Amino acid sequence: MELATFAGGCFWCMVRPFDEEPGIESVVSGYTGGDTAHPSYEEVKQGTSGHREAVQIEFDPHVFSYERLLTIYWQQVDPTDDGGQFFDRGPQYRTAIYYHSDEQKAAAEASRRHLENDGPFQKPIVTEILPVEVFYPAEEEHQKFYKKNPEAYQQERIDSGRERFIQETWEK
């Protein structure tokens, strides 16, 4: 098994696209990239801990490749937005790919180059590719939010503009 860590704005919206795929063992909502040990949701949401909301995925690379995870990741975010994602604003909602190995770094850089050269975006890709940092799982109420609160989850995707963005950008 391997790990992949992605920051894509609101972590509630980043779990379902990966969850329950063959070869995906777990998708955990959490926080990474900050200075505070064991930050709370409120600290991260307020931007006082330096962390980003993120998901950490445990996967079997023989069943579900890292490159396939990257494809799904790019299709969930606006990689040209340096101020956050959709209606979630601030550095705690900025996009990033956190690599766990040199191979993941190379794959992430190649996928970003492909997106820059052949993707649907006119503006520069600002998603950072960074070495993995300590990942803190979020509180239990944030885990698998889409299953626990399906109506609130769907409303979040619609109200934030994420759902419309994905449809307009990728479903062409």
What is the tens place of the pLDDT at every residue in 101-112? 999 999 999 999
pTM summary value: 0.95
Q: What is the pLDDT of residue 172?
A: 64
Catalytic residues: 10
- Quick one: CA dihedral 133, 139, 142, 148, positive or negative? positive
Q: What is the pLDDT of residue 171?
A: 76
Domains and CATH numbers, the chain: 2-170 (3.30.1060.10)
User: What is the Cα–Cα distance from 84 to 75, expressed in whole angstroms?
Assistant: 16
Write 41-46 long-range contacts (CB < 8 A, 24+): 41/138, 41/139, 41/142, 44/92, 45/92
Q: Render each residue's pLDDT in the chain as its tens digit; 172 residues.
A: 999 999 999 999 999 999 989 999 999 999 999 989 999 999 999 999 999 999 999 999 999 999 999 999 999 999 999 999 999 999 999 999 999 999 999 999 999 999 999 999 999 999 999 999 999 999 999 999 999 999 999 999 999 999 999 999 987 6
Q: What is the pLDDT of residue 20?
A: 83
Tokens standing for residue 47: 């931007």
